[in-house]
Structures are given as structure tokens and as C-alpha cells.
């Protein structure tokens, strides 16, 4: 049994947990350490209210709001300045801290392991358990360390680092393990890139991902709204020298390339200059309308989507904007940018990034999870091929018959301009 | 929660690798904040030729009358990966599935199963394949799966086994340790005062 320091809920699965807790006649033991946000099905079009494009979706929003109020939970509401995707705003607000435990009924909670927190995704029942008892019953995971060493080649990002690992080891490769990401390359990443790396630990079937905090972590956390002042000493939060792991993997980061997924699992990923392997899964190929031997670069696209808890932070938007600046989205391509938080949106606007995107022909939206998944309201035209900075290329994830290719925001931006999957 | 002890049923094969929770229950099928009304949307993308019209795809195993009422589902590696949505387990349970036998499960899905009385059984892929369409018996107390004369033992954590066999509510179980938890928190307030936040107004 371990103590849970922070709980984060969103309207999609958090509402179920709060409702069930109420029905059982229970209440959160310490609501001051529970936070909630509207991110999953909230409308991301400009001028939004409680209405969602998904029929009946507004009930999730109004019920979450009412439950939070009744339980005394801090809610970042639809049009609040703090609103945004859970795993973007929790770090922005200093809610996640090095050495703390944080859980959310959301699989991408592992993102926040980038701060040296033990942060992991759970179901609604476990969220109820954590709220009602302040604890969770957890089977101790095995340990894995993935060491990335060497300088990343130009145009290769944290997204490529994690897709490479999943492609190499399989989508089940991290099962049962908590994965520490370590090595020179990881230490060289800024905090936002570290979040991208940890974000997809769940696509690796890991219990979570974690990175030892360092001076970059400390300077990111310092001064955030919910962070303590002065900060405590976190300098001992690292694996001991000579620590033994159940498994260690070494990756030469200098040999990595930009990566794009070709199939319906993140493990179906290859270098952008490569061809789909001869032994590629037949049903994945069938769904994606591709054949073994096809090159991934040059595939015509209908949609380019920049957003999600993986790649929607300010540095992601800056890098994508640098690629689209003074250029135009290819004719017939629908291109969108959905900032990770309202604060990211505001920051981007103060830097003029919104104008760079809209001048190029991108749609510029309000923050939320948006079209990372299809909740039943808004989707892309049926059968569209989408290049997406998100984390899941599952069948139907972005809508019926939608063919999703996941990649870095750089590749999404370059592909939007080219009208086909293209390197920056 | 209904206790789980033994179960005998036809084993319905859905042996595909990396079956994700978006496939088990798409977000668009989660229409309320409750835990019910989900069975109809179970595997909707594969089960229906036209999802809106609910036109069944006769080639999909859930629409095969031979497997009507089957309570055991067979899966591939990393079953239940993706989104943490517990609705995937609620949908399977509501449909009538009580045990899933697969080479492996995604961790959040596996926990969600145990919390809802659905037994996840990990067995090697070749054994799972042999069980396809067979009458299979599951004995949780003995940790055995049998089919005809063949018997295989499976592993399960002692706590998961106890919660499933006794149908226990984990919250009740933990609240029995309420005093110890409170004492730990009291000491922790001194050790890590910054973890404890003031109530926001």
C-alpha cells in the first residue's frame, strides 16, 4: 500500500469515479490534493461553452463540475486561464513534484514521471480508492533502465526516441516494469522533451516512466503556483551508482532517425526513409491501405494534426512554426493546431506563432485533447489519412476508418506543407 | 462484486495482438458517466458493419451464434492496451464475459479487471490457441485451466486472487487499516509538509 500525494481527474473518466464515490456514500479524504480539469471531450473550437460536439457530452462537463463543487475539489473549468490537458497543466501549475506520487484515471499520467515523480495511470475504481483512502494497493513493478547516449542527429526528437524503443522492443516490451530513462541524451533534453519521452511509456505497456530530477527539473518547478517555496532538497532522488535493474537497454541516440508509424500499433513504426517491412502485419496493412515494401515518405495525406499530451507544449509549437513559417499548407489538406493548455495558447499568441500557423492555412484552436481520439462528435472525413503528433495509431482511434500515422510535430508540419508524409 | 471461484464455458476466440481499449469500447460508445449501457457498444468497430445502424458483421466472433452466451474470451498479447478507460471492463462484464485468457494483459486493464470481478488469466500463446472454440473450465482457487484431459496452471497475485475469490471491495479492505494510514500521514506531514496543501476557496 502506498500513499498517494496528488490525484488528477478529467471529465471523461473522473466524472465516473466521482459519481461512483458519491453513490457509495464516500468522499475524498483530502480534497485539497485532488484536482480536476475539462480536457477530454471539451469543445476545442474558438468560442466554446459547455456544449460538446459529442451528443450528450455536456453531461460529463456539468456532472464533473457539480461533483467537484460538492466534494471541494479544485476544478480548472472550460474557459479558465489554467485549463488544458491534464499532463500539460499539472506541471505548469507545479502540481506534480519530484518524489511525489501522482495518479489519474488516464493512461498518459506517466508523462509526469519526467519530473522524477512516481506518476501512473489507473482506472476509475482505483481513482475512487485513492480518493477514499489516500492510498493505493500496488504490486511492486520490476525495474528497467533505458540508457540513451550520444548526440541526437538534427531533426530527431524525444518522440523519435520513444517510438524507436517501442518499435524495437514491441508494444508489450515494458510490461510489468517501471522504466527509468537515463543517459547523456536524456539529461540533454529540456523538460518538455522529457515529458514527450515519458508520455509514451504506456504505449510500451510499462507501469510508468521516470527520469531523475536535475537542475532543469528544479528550475522548471520553482515558482509554480502549487510548488512549495522554498523548494525542498530533492538532490537524492536518483538511482544509486551500481543499482541493479531487472533489465537494461542501451540505445545509441546518435544513430536514431525521424520515425513515422505505418500500422495500427505504435510498434508498427519505421524510419521516415524506410520501406514497410516484408513481414508487416497483414490486418494492419489492410486497415491502413498500404503494402509491405511501400515507402512511408511520400504517402499522400488528407489531414495534419498538431496537439495532444505528447506534443502540444510551447517548444513543440515553436519547432513546428519554424517549419511552416512563410509557407502554405498543401491544397486539400486540413491542418490544425490544438495547444496543450490555455497558457500555452496565450504564450504562443504573444510570440506570434498563431499568426504563423493561420497564415500558412492551419486552424488555430482552444486547448483540449481534441481530435487525438474520436468521442463521437467531431472527426476527419471518413477514410482520411492523418499525420498526427499524438500517441496512438489504433484502428478508429481518430474516427471510423481514419488512418493515423504518428510522428513528431516537425514531421507533421513538414507533411502539411508537402501534402504527403515528409521529413522537415 | 460477484465472487469468482469456478467457471465452465465455451472459449470465444478473439486472438489478435494488442487489442486496445478503443477497440473494446470506443470513446463514442461511452455515453454517460455511469458504468452501464455499454455492452451494446462492446467491440463496436469490429462487431457492426454499420456502427450507427448496428448492422452485425456475421464474420465477427461475437455475432457467431455458436458462441452466444460464452463467458470466456481468448485474446492475443498485450490485451487491453491503450486508454485506461474502465468502461472496457464494464462493457465486457455487462456482455457476460467473466474470464479472459491471453498471453498477456496491459497493466491498467488487468487491474481494472480484478477490481470488477473479471478474471485475467495469462497462458502461453500456443495454449490459448488450443482452447479456441473448446469447452474450457477455470478453477481460480486451484489456479487451473482445463480442457478435456489437459490441465494448465496459471499465476495470479495473491491479493488479486483473494479479491476475486471473495468478491471483496478494495476500499473496504484498505479502510480496515485506517488508523495505520492516519498515523503514517501524521508523521509524513512533518517529513514532507509541502505535500499537504491548504484547502482552496
Is residue B1 a part of any domain in this protein? no
Q: Which fold has domain A259-418?
A: Aconitase; domain 3 (3.30.499)
What's the gap in Å between the CA of B32 and the closest CA on chain A? Answer: 7
Give B-chain residues touching A394 at CB under 8 angstroms. 20, 22-23, 82
Question: Chain B partners of A281 at a C-beta cutoff of 8 Å?
Answer: 17
pLDDT of residue A4: 98
* CB-based contact B174 A33, cutoff 8 Å: no
Q: What is A142-230+242-255's CATH number, 3.30.300.30, 3.40.50.670, 3.40.1060.10, 1.10.3720.10?
A: 3.40.1060.10
**Element spanning A260, H or E:** strand A259-261
Within a domain: residue B164? yes
Say if residue B139 is exposed, middle or buried (CB neighbours under 10 Å; 0-12, 13-18, 19+). Answer: middle
Q: Which residue of B has its CA nearest to A229?
A: B194
pLDDT band of B200, cuts 50, 70, 90: low
Residue B64 has pLDDT above 50, yes or no: yes
**For A138-149, what is each residue's pLDDT tens digit?**
999 999 999 999
- If residue B10 lies in a helix (H) or strand (E), which one and from where to where? strand B6-14
Q: Which of the 8 DSSP states describes residue A341?
A: B
Topology (CATH level 3) of domain A2-136: Aconitase; domain 3 (3.30.499)
The confidence score (pLDDT) of residue A178 equals: 98
Please report whether residue B196 resides in a domain.
no
CATH no. for residue B89? 3.20.19.10
Would you state the pLDDT for residue B100? 98
Pairing of strands B135-139, B6-14: antiparallel
As a whole number of angstroms, the distance between CA B9 and CA A421 comes to 48
Kindly report, residue by residue over A260-277, the tens digit of the pLDDT: 999 999 999 999 999 999
Strands in A177-182's sheet, in edge-to-edge order, are A208-210, A177-182, A142-149, A247-252
Instruction: Answer yes or no: is B71 within a domain.
Output: yes
* CA–CA separation, B33 and B131 (whole Å): 36
- Find out whether A304 and A334 touch, Cβ atoms under 8 Å: yes
Total number of domains in chain B: 1
Q: Which residue has the cell 495518479?
A: A103
What pLDDT is stored for residue A379 in this prediction? Answer: 87
pLDDT band at B201 (very low <50, low <70, confident <90, very high): very low
Per-residue pLDDT of chain A (424 residues; tens, 9 = 90+): 999 999 999 999 998 999 999 999 999 999 999 999 999 999 999 999 999 888 889 999 999 999 999 999 999 999 999 999 999 999 999 999 999 999 999 999 999 999 999 999 999 999 999 999 999 999 999 999 999 999 999 999 999 999 999 999 999 999 999 999 999 999 999 999 999 999 999 999 999 999 999 999 999 999 999 999 999 999 999 999 999 999 999 999 999 999 999 999 999 999 999 999 999 999 999 999 999 999 999 999 999 999 999 999 999 999 999 999 999 999 999 999 999 999 999 999 999 999 999 999 999 999 999 999 998 788 899 899 999 999 999 999 999 999 999 999 999 999 999 999 999 9
DSSP conformation letters of A44-92? -STT--S--SSTTTHHHHHHHHHHHHHHT-EEE-TT-TT-B-HHHHHHH
- Spatial distance between the Cα atoms of B11 and A49, rounded to a whole number of angstroms: 47
A-contacting residues in B 133-152 (Cβ below 8 Å): none
For residue A376, give the nearest of B28, B116, B181 by CB distance: B28
pLDDT in tens, B103-130: 999 999 999 999 999 999 999 999 999 9
B150-153/B144-147 β-pairing = antiparallel
Q: Is the CB of B19 inside 8 Å of chain A's CB atoms?
A: no
Distance from CA of B126 to the nearest CA of A (A): 18
Instruction: Say yes or no: A62 contacts chain B, CB-CB below 8 A.
Output: no
Query: Is A394 in contact with B23 (Cβ distance < 8 A)?
Result: yes
- Chain A residues with beta carbon closer than 8 angstroms to that of B84: 13, 105-107, 121-123
Closest Cα of chain A to B88: distance in Å? 10
- Domain containing B118 equals 6-168
Per-residue pLDDT, B196: 96
Q: Which segments of chain A belong to CATH 3.30.499.10?
A: 2-136, 259-418
A129 and B81 within 8 Å at the Cβ level: the answer is: no
- Region label for A308, one of left (φ > 0), alpha (ψ between -120 and 50) or beta (otherwise): left
Residues of chain B in contact with residue A261, where contact means CB-CB under 8 angstroms, are none
User: What backbone torsions phi and psi does residue B58 show, to the nearest 5 degrees?
Assistant: -60, -20
What average pLDDT does the segment B150-175 reach?
95
Query: Within a domain: residue B19?
Result: yes
Would B194 be classed as within a structural domain?
Answer: no
What are the pLDDT digits (tens) for B34-63? 999 999 999 999 999 999 999 999 999 999
User: Residue A54: what pLDDT?
Assistant: 86
Amino acid at each position: 500500500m502506498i500513499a498517494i500525494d496528488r490525484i488528477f481527474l478529467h471529465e471523461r473518466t473522473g466524472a465516473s469515479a466521482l459519481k461512483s464515490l458519491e453513490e457509495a456514500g464516500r468522499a475524498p479524504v483530502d480534497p485539497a490534493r485532488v484536482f480536476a480539469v475539462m480536457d477530454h471531450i471539451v469543445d476545442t473550437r474558438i468560442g466554446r461553452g459547455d456544449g460538446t460536439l459529442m451528443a450528450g457530452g455536456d453531461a460529463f462537463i456539468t456532472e464533473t463540475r457539480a461533483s467537484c463543487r460538492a466534494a471541494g475539489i479544485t476544478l480548472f473549468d472550460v474557459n479558465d486561464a489554467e485549463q488544458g490537458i491534464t499532463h500539460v497543466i499539472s506541471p505548469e501549475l507545479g502540481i506534480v513534484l519530484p518524489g511525489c506520487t501522482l495518479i489519474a484515471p488516464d493512461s498518459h499520467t506517466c508523462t509526469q514521471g519526467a519530473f522524477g515523480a512516481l506518476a501512473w495511470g489507473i482506472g476509475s475504481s482505483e481513482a475512487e480508492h485513492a480518493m477514499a483512502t489516500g492510498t493505493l494497493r500496488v504490486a511492486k513493478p520490476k525495474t528497467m533502465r533505458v540508457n540513451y547516449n550520444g548526440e541526437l542527429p538534427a531533426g530527431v526528437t524525444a518522440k523519435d526516441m520513444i517510438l524507436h524503443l517501442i518499435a524495437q522492443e514491441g508494444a508489450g516490451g515494458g510490461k510489468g516494469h517501471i522504466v527509468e530513462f537515463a543517459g547523456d541524451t536524456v539529461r540533454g533534453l529540456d523538460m518538455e522533451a522529457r515529458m514527450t519521452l515519458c508520455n509514451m511509456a504506456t504505449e510500451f505497456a510499462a507501469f510508468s516512466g521516470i527520469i531523475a530530477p536535475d537542475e532543469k527539473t528544479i528550475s522548471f518547478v520553482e515558482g509554480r503556483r502549487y510548488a512549495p517555496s522554498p523548494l525542498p532538497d530533492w538532490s537524492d532522488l536518483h538511482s544509486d551508482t551500481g543499482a541493479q535493474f531487472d533489465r537494461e537497454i542501451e540505445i545509441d541516440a546518435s544513430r536514431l532517425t525521424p520515425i513515422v508509424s505505418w500500422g495500427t500499433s505504435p510498434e508498427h513504426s519505421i524510419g521516415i526513409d524506410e520501406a514497410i517491412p516484408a513481414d508487416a502485419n497483414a490486418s494492419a496493412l489492410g486497415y491502413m491501405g498500404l503494402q509491405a515494401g511501400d515507402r512511408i515518405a511520400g504517402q499522400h495525406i488528407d489531414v495534419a494534426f498538431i496537439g495532444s499530451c505528447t506534443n502540444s507544449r510551447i517548444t513543440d509549437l515553436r519547432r513546428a512554426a519554424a517549419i511552416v513559417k512563410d509557407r502554405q499548407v498543401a491544397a486539400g489538406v486540413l491542418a490544425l493546431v490544438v495547444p496543450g493548455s490555455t497558457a500555452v495558447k496565450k504564450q504562443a499568441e504573444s510570440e506570434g506563432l498563431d499568426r504563423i500557423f493561420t497564415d500558412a492555412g492551419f486552424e488555430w484552436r482552444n486547448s483540449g485533447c481534441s481530435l487525438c481520439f474520436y468521442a463521437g462528435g467531431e472527426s476527419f472525413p471518413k477514410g482520411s489519412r492523418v499525420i498526427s503528433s499524438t500517441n496512438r495509431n489504433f484502428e478508429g482511434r481518430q474516427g471510423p476508418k481514419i488512418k493515423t500515422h504518428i510522428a513528431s510535430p516537425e514531421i507533421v508540419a513538414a507533411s502539411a506543407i508537402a501534402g504527403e508524409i515528409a521529413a522537415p | 462484486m460477484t465472487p469468482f471461484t469456478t467457471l465452465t464455458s465455451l472459449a470465444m476466440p478473439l486472438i489478435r495482438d494488442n487489442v486496445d481499449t478503443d477497440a473494446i469500447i470506443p470513446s463514442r460508445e461511452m455515453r454517460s458517466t455511469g458504468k452501464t449501457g455499454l455492452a451494446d457498444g462492446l467491440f463496436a468497430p469490429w462487431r457492426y458493419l454499420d456502427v450507427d445502424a448496428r448492422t452485425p458483421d456475421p464474420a465477427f466472433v461475437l455475432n457467431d451464434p455458436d458462441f452466444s452466451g460464452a463467458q470466456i474470451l481468448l485474446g492475443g498479447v498485450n490485451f487491453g492496451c491503450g486508454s485506461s478507460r474502465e468502461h472496457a471492463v464494464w462493457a465486457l462484464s455487462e456482455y457476460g464475459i467473466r474470464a479472459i485468457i491471453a498471453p498477456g494483459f496491459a497493466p491498467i486493464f488487468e487491474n481494472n479487471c480484478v477490481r470488477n470481478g473479471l478474471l485475467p488469466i495469462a497462458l502461453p500463446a500456443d495454449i490459448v490457441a488450443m482452447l479456441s472454440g473448446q469447452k474450457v473450465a477455470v478453477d481460480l482457487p486451484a489456479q487451473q485451466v482445463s480442457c478435456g484431459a489437459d490441465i494448465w496452471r496459471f499465476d495470479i497475485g495473491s491479493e488479486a486472487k483473494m479479491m476475486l475469490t471473495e468478491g471483496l471491495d478494495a476500499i473496504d479492505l484498505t479502510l480496515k487499516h485506517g488508523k495505520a494510514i492516519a498515523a503514517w500521514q501524521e508523521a509524513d506531514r512533518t517529513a514532507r509538509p509541502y505535500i499537504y496543501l491548504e484547502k482552496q476557496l
